[in-house]
Amino acid sequence: MKLFFTLILILFFTMTNDAQTSDVIYLWPDKVPGQIEVKQRPTQSSNKTGNVIRLNEVTNPALIAYEPKASNNNGVSIIICPGGGYGILAIDLEGYEIAEWLSKLGYTAYVLQYRVPNKRKEALYDLQRAIKVIRSKEVASSSNTKKLGVIGFSAGGSLSARASTRFSEESYTLMDDIDTISSRPDFALLIYPAYLDEGENRKLSPELLVNPQTPPMFIFATADDKYGNSALVMTTALRDHKLPVELHLLPKGGHGYGIRSGNIAAETWPSLAETWLRNEVLNK
């Protein structure tokens, strides 16, 4: 009976999902930098509010890979950083569901399970390492991947912005040859980002070191989002440095809507992001 239900689940997943979840890629083969806890499987919260699956503890950071159909593969990869206030990961709402959408568009998508809870510094280690690991695999396989970018939601937007501005520093002790590879993303999408305005008088957070090498960004937020100022200060910083940035600010939509229907912001940003990716990434 157990086997029967397992086969049914596999069949259902195959019929309803164009993406292929082919690999779980663990980022740290040995010791995880900045961590004393033993590696374990991620634990899931009993809180299902909003029909969201929440991971409330991650000690063995990993990437979940979603491969597009071979006939539709455009050669670009995107790492997805779910949000959750650095306390949890909204792993389906801002992770797996985003990966399915991106893979249908032809992108190879990777959902990042970065460390939580309260591991803000270590989360940056995980994203920087993830970028290096993917690039190392591309070199090893002679992949035709042209570019590798990041997309983040809420705290994941903060994490993506940090990785996009702090790639020139060695934030953790180098572990192996993989860590000699650049951790600079080629582009970034920040969707209702948070925590980017922690500077004095709600200005740009001092840790965000915008410079001429900062990659182009797509930023989306709403005016009624309590974190909406983050999008504004990040856009201003990029504009002041004459860097490519596209900002969309809707009057309403709130925060934490992902890509699910029923919210005007959730129904608006994906098509705008798709156009931006086509124009600024695929065609350049």
Q: Please give the angle made by the CA atoms of 211, 123 and 20, to the nearest 5 degrees.
A: 100
What pLDDT does residue 142 have? 56
What pLDDT does residue 57 have? 98
- Given the candidates 3.40.800.10, 3.40.50.2300, 3.40.50.300, 3.40.50.1820, the CATH classification of the domain at 20-282 is 3.40.50.1820
pTM here is: 0.92
Instruction: Check if the beta carbon of residue 112 is closer than 8 Å to that of residue 81.
Output: yes
Coil, helix or strand for 271?
A: helix
| pLDDT tens track for 223-236 | 999 999 999 999 99
Query: What is the DSSP pairing of strand 147-153 with strand 188-191?
Result: parallel
Phi, psi (rounded to 5 degrees) for 221: -160, 180
Phi, psi (rounded to 5 degrees) for 66: -120, 110
Question: What span, in angstroms and rounded, lies between the C-alpha atoms of 107 and 75?
Answer: 7
Q: Kindly give the confidence (pLDDT) of every residue in the chain, 284 residues in length, as a single tens digit, with 9 standing for 90 and above.
A: 433 333 333 333 433 345 555 689 999 999 999 999 999 999 999 999 999 999 999 999 999 999 999 999 999 999 999 999 999 999 999 999 999 999 999 999 999 999 999 999 999 999 999 999 999 987 766 555 579 999 999 999 999 999 999 999 888 888 899 999 999 999 999 999 999 999 999 999 999 999 999 999 999 999 999 999 999 999 999 999 999 999 999 999 999 999 999 999 999 999 999 999 999 999 98
Instruction: Check if the beta carbon of residue 269 is closer than 8 Å to that of residue 276.
Output: no
Tokens of 50: 């909003």
CA dihedral 50, 53, 56, 62 (to 10 degrees): -140
| pLDDT tens track for 124-144 | 999 999 999 999 987 766 555
| pLDDT tens track for 68-98 | 999 999 999 999 999 999 999 999 999 999 9
> What residues does each domain of the chain span?
20-282
